[in-house]
Each structure stands twice: as C-alpha cells, then as structure tokens.
Structure 1
C-alpha cells in the first residue's frame, strides 16, 4: 500500500511501505523526520560541490598534467585526482605531494586506480608517469 508522507522539509512524497501494521506505522513516523528524495539529492549535490571546491583549492598551486579522455572520463577523473591529491597535500603538511601523481594525465588511469591506498597510488603513478624522473639526490625533476 502506498502512503503519502509529509517529510521534514515540508514536501509530500508517496512511499510504498511493506510489513505489518506496526512496522508500517513505525516506518511512516521515521519518514516524517527525513527529507524527501528531491531535497536529499539536492543537499547531497551541494555537499559534493562544496567538498570538490575545497579539494580544487587545495591543489590549485600544483602543476597538473591536463587530463585526456572522454568528456565524462575527464570530469570524473578530475574530481578523483583533486580529492586524492588534496589528501596527499594535507598529509604532507601543506607541502606538495610526489610530482609523479601530478604528471599522470590519463583520465582512465585515475578512474581505474581510485580505490588504491595512497602508497599504492604513488607506486603506480611513478610507473605510469614517464615524465617523472627521480634524481640521485632524492629530489624529483621532470624530464624534457
């Protein structure tokens, strides 16, 4: 049976609530304390946009290789790269992360490696970034 619920945001939404009478009543009461689906999605998008802006600001000073791929891949990879590099910048105490990560410009690479730990991501980035050349003194430079 479908129930029309007025959510905490003031919007009404129809919900199918299965179960016994007491379970339906409990679920209906709980739904009145939550936001409707549209408001929940809008809030989530706003939170994601704010977090993305913070990540972008944290890595704005880095010289990042341009991402290459389809428009959809580039958009997704840009958010993944900004989030991961912002976390690495924070872990480095505000300093720059290893330049190998900044040299990887393949959007698909960032998408495929999004779930790796920071240490594993760095190892894979060093292998994938041909422009990254570690110097003998421990510093890094970019090859021409």
Structure 2
C-alpha cells in the first residue's frame, strides 16, 4: 500500500492510496489510469457546469420547473435535456417528414409533464420515444392519429409542397445545446493546452539544469568545450548558459528525485517523470509490455504469472526497457556502474 500524489488530467495533484504490490507494474498502471481522470473536485465542478447549462436550456425553452432536492433537480435537468435532444434526433429520422415538427412537439410535451426529478433520474437510461408513447393520454393518441392522417394527405402532393424539418423550439434547443457544448469543449481544450505548456516549461527548465551540470563538468576539465561552443550546440544564449552553470541547486533537486525513485518513492518518481518525459515514456512502454505479457498468460493458462512467484520468467522487450529506465535513473543519481 502506498500513499501517492498523482497529477490528474485536470492538472491538479491529488493524494490517493494504491494497494497491492508493484512486482509487474500493477500500482503503476493504477496510477496511470487515475492520472487520466480529473480529480474529485473537478469531476464535481464538471457535473455542476453540465447541470447549469441544462438549467439555462430549460429556462430558455420555458420548460416546467422540476421538484426534488437541489442535487436531484440539478442532475435531472441534465438528464431531461439529453433525453429530449435524443428524442428530437430519433423522431427526425423516423417520423413522417411532413409532420415531424408537430410529432416532436407532442412527444416533448408528454415528457415535460413529468416534473418529479427522481422520475427523470430513475428513467435516465430509457428511450424517450418509448417513454412518451407509454405516458400518452387518449387525447394525445388522438392527436397523434390526426397527425398521421395529415401526413398521409401531404405525401400525395410532395412534389409541390415544402416539407417542414421540425418546429422552431426543437431547432433552437439543438442549436443552444450545440453552442454550449462547443464552449465547454474549448474550455476543456484550453485547460489541457495550459497543462501541456506547464509541463513543457518544467521539462525545459530541467534540460537547462542538466546543461548547467555538463558545463560545470567542462569547467572542471579546463573548458574543453567552453561557453561559446555550448552556445552553438544548444541554441541557448550565453547569459542563460552562464546562469545554468552557476546554478547548482536546480540539478541537485533532480538528483534527489532520482535517488528517491531508486528507493521506491512513488511521489519522487512521478515528479522525475514530469521533469524528464523520456523517462516516463520508457517506464510506460515497459509497463505496457508487462501488462500485455500478463494478459496473454492469463488467456493461455487461466491465471496471472504474478500469482506464482516461481514464474519469474523473462519478458522480451519489457525487460530491456525496464533495464534502460533503471540505468538512466541511476546515471542521473550519479550511481553509474
């Protein structure tokens, strides 16, 4: 069991308990999955944003207010918008084209009579068209039958009659949802782009710290390369190189993280990966091959090789990557054999 700080997909660090051994990267895979998901706070914020957007749509369309607890109403608002949007799409593809707008309005009105938030939550996975058909009154069915008769009459003159594609409320509803979805997608993309920019800045700072270490070694070796040549080789300015050479603390921090990684501290390993992405790539590739080997073993033998410690068999490719990873970390820590 290990208490690990993981940077979630939203960019926020979060401490989590990861149970089990890490013989073949089990905890690493769990950590990678958690890193691909937003933190609990952002998940809650994301749901709140969806619920707020749904409330805006309902208010704009003039839908009835829902009853229930605040949490139930918020969730039910989103479910209602999703269900009615899917209903409109379904009827656009299945209802007679000449009366699709009126049919959509009828089915929507039937569902909107349901103002109990728990009802929407309980039926969130149901098909809206079938739900509406079950809930129709005799008057609703009579209106639907009349619309079918109108459709039959209109189909006799389709060559000269313009067919409506839906009523204005349904079209506006879809347009509002699409616009808000585009805005939400842009917000998410901006957050992710900002996270990548921050990761790139951290990786660049670490690379400059390593350049500083190399320049200090060169200085101890009577400037065999020198600042002028280093400027040409790295593309960095002379003041930047000079500052990097004089800053001994930046690389010392990386060395400390490498030592922690070798000692088995997950937080140090995650921080080292953030600073040196090529290490994260080596580790991820090795973990993937170990996982692939484990899945194949389970498929062939019915159990994981990790269930029997005697089956410590080599895994071609994964072992080499893991060895290269460990060697690189040892080099950074100054423990080269």
Question: Please, which moves more after superposition, 5-14 or 39-48?
Answer: 5-14
Q: Is the 1:76–1:111 Cα contact (8 Å) retained in structure 2? A: yes
Deviation of 1:3 (Å): 1.6
Higher helix share: 2
Q: Tell me if 1:138 matches 2:147.
A: yes
Instruction: Give the secondary structure class of the aligned counterpart of 2:35.
Output: coil
Q: CA deviation at 1:133?
A: 7.2
Relative to the length of structure 2, the TM-score reads 0.31
CA positional deviation for 1:78: 2.7
Q: Kindly tell me: are residues 58 and 88 of structure 1, through their superposed partners in 2, closer, same or farther at Cα, counting changes over 3 Å?
A: farther
Shift of 1:22: 1.0
Tell whether the 8 Å contact from 2:58 to 2:81 is kept in structure 1 after alignment.
Answer: yes
Which residue in 2 is equivalent to 1:102?
112
Tell me the distance in 1 between the aligned counterparts of 2:71 and 2:14.
34
Q: Residue in 1 aligned with 2:46? A: 47
Match of 2:84 in 1: 85
Partner Cα distance (2:28, 2:112) in 1: 50
The structure with the larger Rg is 2
Q: What is the CA distance between 1:100 and its match in structure 2?
A: 0.8
Instruction: Provide closer, same or farther for how the CA distance between residues 17 and 126 of structure 1 changes in structure 2, counting only shifts above 3 A.
Output: same
**Partner secondary structure for residue 5 of structure 1:** strand
Partner of 1:66: 65
- 1:119 aligned residue: 129
Aligned partners of 1:59 and 1:89 also within 8 Å: no
Per-residue displacement from partner, 1:51-92 (whole Å, max 9, x unpaired)? Answer: 334444554443423323455543443332222123334545
Residues 1:35 and 2:35 aligned together? yes
**What 5-or-longer segments of structure 1 have no aligned partner?**
140-144
Closer, same or farther: CA 126–108 of 1 in aligned 2, 3 Å: farther
Q: Would you tell me which structure has more strand in proportion to its own residues? A: 1
TM-score of the superposed pair, with normalisation by structure 1:
0.60
Could you list the per-position Cα deviations for residues 5-57 of structure 1 after superposition, in whole angstroms to 9, with x for gaps in the alignment? 232357362524214x514xx134335544399x5212322332343344445
Aligned residues: 131
Secondary structure at the residue paired with 2:61?
A: coil
SS at match of 2:146: coil
Which residue number corresponds to residue 267 of structure 2? none
Is the contact between residue 54 and residue 77 of structure 2 (CA under 8 Å) also seen in structure 1? no
Q: CA RMSD in A?
A: 3.7
Equivalent-residue separation in structure 2 for 1:106 and 1:14 (angstroms): 37
Q: Say if 1:35 and 1:12 are closer, same or farther in 2 by CA, change over 3 A.
A: same
Q: Secondary structure at the match of 2:67?
A: coil
